Amino acid sequence: MKKIKSALISVSNKKNLKPILQTLKKFKIEIISSGGTFKKIKELGFKSKEISEYTKFPEMLDGRVKTLHPMIHAGILSDRKKTSHKNQLKKYNFKEIDLVIVNFYPFQEIVKNFSKKKRIIENIDIGGPSMVRGAAKNYKNVAVITSVDQYNDLINELNFNKGSTSEVFRERLCQEAFIETGYYDSVISNYFLGISKNNFPSKKLIYGNKIDDLRYGENPHQIAGIYAIGLSNQKIQQLHGKKLSYNNYNDLYSALEISKSLPKNVGCVIVKHANPCGVSINKDNFQSFKLALKCDPVSAFGGIVSCNFKINEKLANELNKIFLEIVVATGFSKKALKILKKKKNLRIIDSSKLDNTDFFDMKSNFNTLLIQSNDSKIFKNKDFKVVSKTKPGKDTMKNLIFAFNICRFVKSNAIVLTRNFSTIGIGAGQPSRVDSCKIAIEKMQTFQKITNKDEVIAASDAFFPFVDGLEKLVMSGVSAVIQPSGSIRDKEIIRFANKLGIVLVFSKTRHFKH
Amino acid sequence: MKKIKSALISVSNKKNLKPILQTLKKFKIEIISSGGTFKKIKELGFKSKEISEYTKFPEMLDGRVKTLHPMIHAGILSDRKKTSHKNQLKKYNFKEIDLVIVNFYPFQEIVKNFSKKKRIIENIDIGGPSMVRGAAKNYKNVAVITSVDQYNDLINELNFNKGSTSEVFRERLCQEAFIETGYYDSVISNYFLGISKNNFPSKKLIYGNKIDDLRYGENPHQIAGIYAIGLSNQKIQQLHGKKLSYNNYNDLYSALEISKSLPKNVGCVIVKHANPCGVSINKDNFQSFKLALKCDPVSAFGGIVSCNFKINEKLANELNKIFLEIVVATGFSKKALKILKKKKNLRIIDSSKLDNTDFFDMKSNFNTLLIQSNDSKIFKNKDFKVVSKTKPGKDTMKNLIFAFNICRFVKSNAIVLTRNFSTIGIGAGQPSRVDSCKIAIEKMQTFQKITNKDEVIAASDAFFPFVDGLEKLVMSGVSAVIQPSGSIRDKEIIRFANKLGIVLVFSKTRHFKH
């Protein structure tokens, strides 16, 4: 237990000081404070000594130097158990400082709200972190408060211990202080990295704010949490239903990634186990869902439906006919929401505030972190080259690009079959491409009626290494194929396509996803 | 351009100071230095003024307070463009400090090598980061060096600009300085979080050191890099072949995760697209590989072979018969290595130094970070409950647990078929469980001869929602099944197993993996 006799207060955020000051007064704790804080304390009707008066040294350089003084830092850093330290303080008439209450210039908020570099840099706090770090290092003797959120805990601690703090409490504050300073400088470094566009510095700092503790991870025996990275906020809004689980988030993000890639206000995606099991774009939103569902109505059970349009009453009634974990959309009509809310557990999510600021993708393994830029390439016509003698019409070309776009969101190896802007067969996650072909074909044959009038399109996320996969596709009715080139058998594959008279288009880019 | 007239040097790591001192001397730059650094400079035959002499204030509290003085900080922080700042410095007889060379107490190395808390905490640097942060904030006027690695750059810059530094250079140093301080405090906070076992603090700091820039990400149009997280080093050692790509790493980690879960010195795993396509354990290492390969020799093409044993000459010759991207093992005989090295591009990796310190798994999506503890549960017999009338013998039970263990490393939904500790069919990554059953069965029927004497075992990573999947498995020869319970149809499934006379075992834990 350490009795607190003196406190230093220097806060940028001056909220909620009153109850703290009342408690310090109650335990007769002397207060030292810096310029603005001194004024605020006076305003609130409490006494404190201004730092410049305390150190007998003025604030300098427009406040850039005020607390960076040996009297302050020796007062914070001295080891109370060492006689030599005690004597040195005495010699210079320095006093021990037992409590440091500091919060920093709001660098993060300034970066979010202002763009002028000078103003941003002026908001890098120097004195504050120095005191906080010193106090945290000396937590055996000193308590350090770095956030308004900790005020209540401090008040309770002081009341409970009659003006003292416990070491357990101070050690926790120390931990939180170093998180605060580490976080603060991570934000600052990231600001400068942003300016220099240095994405892969030799040391990488990633920082996040907790959105939620999750009930468990991918499985009940794993613990989990979710954080908002950097300066971002969680951009999705849950309107109803049970808390999102780890797997819900994972699936939801897969669904949203596809949704945002589709033309606005027409796309519907159904996801299960992070893979799409049905995607469709259709001006008639109701049809968009019906066609997505038809791709694999069995797998859709317990899945996620994601619409990049506003859900209306008619669709809400249709959605309620099947068991879903999540319905996410860029809006809901009042009536639709009321209908969907009848399902007590159904998670209903509004994604209309979701933007597209996520440029990097990270995953960890064996204590290493793989970081890559997202596969967010926007396709243009010139990215594709028709290599077959049979040329695709405009509509066929559009359908080919639609299929290829879906394909990149399916786990590799991926094969996607489509008809008229709806998936009708998805083969995902196979080590062998021909197996993905088989799975996609079987889906199509199970759930669709294919007539001779239908134009069935196939997309592959990477090149066909052999003719076999292509052959199976064509034999099952596919008449146009899109795939990245790059196989040593490309020529053979073009000859094969020409022999069968199908359309074959090469894309410039491969789209593995694992 | 800023002419440098004075420099402050205060370094914990005193390597390579000589060339810096020569350069500073050449441009007649005055040096101020702190205790230990002062001695070192003197030893090297150069002049400098000790800080306590400079400030006319002694080092205090065993060196805890030495640079935390207004004379130092005003000298660093003053805005050279402001007359008021200039006048204030003059008034107190303070001088501008144009260059700060500081590196910190080696907190990270101390944590790695020592366990005594007092010693560790004493190595939290307070004065160093204060100066560095001040100098970095004032990069318009001051250059800040935080690492021995930057000395050459500084020397070149000063020589090139005849004793001056450019703003571009100083801004880069500022960025690196804030990375350094952010990193330093992240390490410190993580040390305290480790003590309190707080895995999900409200603010999360993740920090890493770059292992490598990668040629590209999952696809050529994505940029990528790989970092070692926290205090870890890269634990794998590449002995030969092309640089590892993003997908190589991703596949490699999948393979190693399975390898480390198998009994030591007997396991062979083949991975493609982050999914296993063959796993076997066998005392005869050669057989172990052959049996793993036999599970799906088509998919193994271009895959990764991972052995948790030392590869010998015989196996090396066998491995060379197929095209592989990577061979990884816990060692290679000299002859084996020579044989494998004949393949110029083959990446050969030694994983014998790989340990098991990775407790958390992270992935990012839409600017959020999902963090969970790894699914590293070690299975015990009591985790499993035999629910069928037919009871498994000891060997069958071992085989069931082997199959279930592999199953958790296969992307969900996962079905794994095994015979005598070798996989013979793997169905991965399907939104519908019955589809995974079909894929696994088809693999088995394609590549294996199953006789009545064979005991075919099936494992499922999550419960069977219906009888259909189970039925397909039994019809294809499966006589023992292991799966997590939890379906509302569990009873029906037990009845079904009993009707067919198969072994059915429930596990307590589910093992989704996406």
Q: How far is B259 from chain A (nearest CA, A)?
A: 13
Buried b or exposed e, range A383-393, using 16+ CB within 10 angstroms: ebebbbeeebe
Q: Model confidence at A233, in pLDDT bands (50, 70, 90)?
A: confident
Handedness of CA B129, B134, B136, B142 (dihedral sign): negative
Write out the two tokens for A76.
């914070």
State which residue of chain B sits closest to A81, comparing Cα positions: B61
How large is the average pLDDT for residues A411-434?
96
In this prediction the pTM is 0.94
B70: CB partners within 8 A, 6+ apart: A57, A60, A65, A68, A69, B92, B94
Q: Are residues B103 and B165 in the same domain?
A: yes
> Can you read off the two tokens belonging to residue B379?
């299975």
Residue of A39, A73, A85, A137 marked active site = A137
Active site positions of B, annotated: 137, 273
Q: Is the pLDDT of residue A228 over 90?
A: yes
* Token pair for A357: 């600021």
Residue B63 has pLDDT above 90, yes or no: no
In a domain, A202, yes or no: no
What distance in Å separates residue A26's CA from the closest CA in chain B? 31
Nearest to A372 among B68, B171, B218 (CB): B218
CA distance A513 to B222: 12
Q: Per-residue pLDDT averaged across A296-306, rounded?
A: 96
Is pLDDT of A357 > 70?
A: no
Q: Tell whether B370 is covered by a domain.
A: no
Which chain B residues are Cβ-neighbours of A364 within 8 angstroms?
229, 358, 360-363
Q: Is B13 on the interface with A (CB under 8 A)?
A: no
Contact A65 B57 (CB under 8 A): no
Q: Using one digit for the tens of pLDDT, what is the confidence trace for B214-225?
A: 999 999 999 999
Report d(CA B275, CA A432) in Å as an integer: 11
- CA dihedral (A238, A244, A249, A250) in degrees, to 10, reads -150
pLDDT at B5 over 90: yes
Selecting from A192, A217, A235 the residue whose C-beta is nearest the C-beta of B178 gives A192
Report the C-alpha gap between B277 and B426 in whole angstroms. 7
Nearest to B328 by CA among B307, B352, B359: B307
Residues B249 and B139 in one domain: no
B322 Cβ under 8 Å from any chain A Cβ: no
Per-residue H/E/C for B347-408: EEEECCCCCCCCCEEEEEECCEEEEEECCCCCCCHHHEEECCCCCCCHHHHHHHHHHHHHHC
Whether A368 sits inside 8 A of B227 (CB atoms) is yes
Q: Measured between beta carbons, which residues in chain B are less than 8 angstroms from residue A303?
A: 431
Q: How far apart are CA B112 and CA B109, in angstroms?
A: 5
Sequence-distant (6+) residues with CB within 8 A of A346 are: A240, A241, A324, A325, A326, A327, A340
Task: Give the containing element (helix H, strand E) for A205.
Answer: strand A203-214
One-letter amino acid at A318 equals E
For A417, phi and psi rounded to 5 degrees? Answer: -105, 135
For chain A positions 359-378, those within 8 Å of chain B (CB to CB) are 360-375, 377
Which residues of chain B lie closer than 8 angstroms to A279, CB-CB? Answer: none
List CB contacts (< 8 A) between A128 and chain B.
none
pLDDT at B481 > cutoff 80: yes
Q: Is residue A160 part of a domain?
A: yes
**What's the burial of B182, exposed, middle or buried (CB within 10 Å: 0-12/13-18/19+)?**
buried
- Of the partner residues A88, A298, A512, the one whose CB lies closest to the CB of residue B60: A88
| Selected residues 205-264 of chain B with any CB under 8 Å from a CB in chain A | 205-211, 213-214, 216-230, 232, 234-236, 246-247, 249-250, 253, 256-257
Residue B87: Cβ within 10 Å count: 9
Question: For residue A389, which amino acid is it?
Answer: K
CB B197 within 8 A of CB A346: no
CB-CB contact of A296 with A246 (8 Å): no
Same domain, B320 and B415: no
Residue B231 confidence (pLDDT): 72
| Cβ separation B219–A69 shorter than 8 A | no
Are residues A13 and A133 located together in one domain of the fold? yes
| Interfacial B residues in 125-164 facing A (CB < 8 Å) | 126, 129-130, 133-134, 136-137
Q: What chain A residue is nearest to B257 in terms of C-alpha separation? A: A366
Residues in chain B with CB shorter than 8 Å from the CB of A272 are 431-432
Domain edge (last residue) among B196, B220, B246: B196
Nearest by CB to residue A514, choosing from B218, B364, B371, is B218
Contacts of A120 (CB under 8 A, 6+ apart): A107, A110, A111, A114, A191
Residue B92 lies in a domain: yes
Q: How far apart are CA A15 and CA A44, in angstroms?
A: 11
Is B363 within 8 Å of A368 when comparing Cβ atoms?
no
β-bridge partners, B270: B278, B305
Distance from CA of A264 to the nearest CA of B (A): 18
Cα B162 from Cα A484, distance rounded (Å)? 54
Decide if A203 and B210 are in contact by the 8 Å CB cutoff.
yes
How is B56-90 classified by DSSP, letter by letter? T---BGGGTBSS-SHHHHHHHH--TT-HHHHHHHH
**Residue A454 in domain:** yes
Q: Are A235 and A353 in contact (CB under 8 A)?
A: yes
The Cα A275–Cα A425 span in angstroms is 12
> Interface pTM (ipTM) of the complex?
0.94
CB-based contacts of B388, cutoff 8 Å, min separation 6:
B494, B497, B498, B502, B503, B504, B505
SS (H, E, C) B88-155: HHHHCCCCCCCEEEEECCCHHHHHHHCCCHHHHHHCCCCHHHHHHHHHHHCCCCCEEECCHHHHHHHH
B355 touches chain A (CB under 8 A): no
Query: Of A35 and A31, which is predicted with more confidence?
Result: A31
Position B238 in a domain: yes
Q: Are residues A42 and A81 in the same domain?
A: yes
The whole-number pLDDT of residue B377 equals 87
Active site residue A273: yes
Instruction: Give the other-Cβ count within 10 Å of A327's Cβ.
Output: 26
Chain A partners within 8 Å of B224 (Cβ): 370-373
Which residues in chain B touch residue A407, judged by CB atoms under 8 angstroms apart? Answer: none
- pLDDT at residue number B357: 67
Inter-chain contacts counted by CB atoms under 8 A, chains A and B: 455
Residues A145, A64 share a domain: yes
Residue B312 in this model has a pLDDT that exceeds 80: yes
Q: Are A21 and A132 contained in the same domain? A: yes
Instruction: Confirm if A292 and A279 have CB atoms less than 8 A apart.
Output: yes
> Residue A247 is part of which domain span?
236-350
Mean pLDDT to the nearest integer, A466-486: 95
* Beta pairing partners, B425: B417
B95 touches chain A (CB under 8 A): no
Are B435 and A432 a contacting pair at CB < 8 A? no
Catalytic residue, candidates A95, A273, A343, A377: A273
B51-74: average pLDDT: 86
Residue B361 lies in a domain: no
- C-alpha distances in Å from residue B11, one per residue of A76, A133, A154, B8, B74: 23, 19, 37, 10, 20
Statement: residue B501 has pLDDT above 80: yes
Separation CA B126–CA A56 (nearest Å): 23
**pLDDT by residue (tens digit) across A39-89?**
999 999 999 999 988 988 878 888 888 888 888 999 999 999 999 999 988
Report pLDDT digits (tens) over A369-405. 999 999 988 898 889 999 999 999 999 999 999 999 9
Query: Residue A229 is nearest to which of B68, B175, B369, comparing CB atoms?
Result: B369
CA A506 to centroid of chain Cα atoms = 34
**Do A396 and A500 belong together in one domain?**
yes
Does B44 reach chain A within 8 Å, measured CB to CB? no
CA atoms of A291 and B194, how far apart (whole Å): 51
B434 is a domain residue: yes
| Chain B residue with the nearest C-alpha to that of A64 | B77
Q: Whose CA is closest to B473, among B495, B449, B447, B443?
A: B443
Tokens describing residue B78: 């003053």
* A44 three-class SS: coil
Does the pLDDT value for residue B358 go beyond 80? no
Q: Are residues B318 and B398 in the same domain?
A: no
Question: Of A223-232, B35-44, B132-141, B406-415, which gets the smallest average pLDDT?
Answer: A223-232
B153, with CB counted inside 10 A (0-12, 13-18, 19+), is middle
- pLDDT of B399-410, one tens digit each? 999 999 999 999
Answer yes or no: do A387 and A483 share one domain.
yes
Q: Is residue A235 over pLDDT 90?
A: no
Distance CA A479, CA B357 (A): 52
pLDDT band at B356, cuts 50/70/90?
A: low
Give the domain-ending residue among A350, A367, A393.
Answer: A350
**CATH code, domain with B30:** 3.40.50.1380
Same domain, B141 and B269: no
Contact criterion met (CB below 8 Å) for B296 and B428: no
Select from A350, A368, A390 the last residue of a domain.
A350
Do A477 and A391 lie in a common domain?
yes
Tell me the chain B residues in contact with residue A192 when contact means C-beta distances shorter than 8 Å. Answer: 171, 174-175, 178
Active site residue A137: yes
Q: Are B178 and A192 contacting, i.e. CB atoms less than 8 angstroms apart? A: yes
Residue B6 CA to residue B75 CA, distance in Å, equals 10
**Amino acid identity of A247?**
N
For residue B280, pLDDT over 70 is answered with yes
Q: pLDDT > 90: what percent of chain B?
A: 88
Structural domain count, chain A: 3
Is A98:A163 a contact under the CB 8 Å cutoff?
Answer: no
The CATH number of residue A453's host domain is: 3.40.140.20
pLDDT at position B50 is 94
**pLDDT at residue number A70:** 87
Cα–Cα distance for residue pair A30/A48, rounded to 1 Å: 7
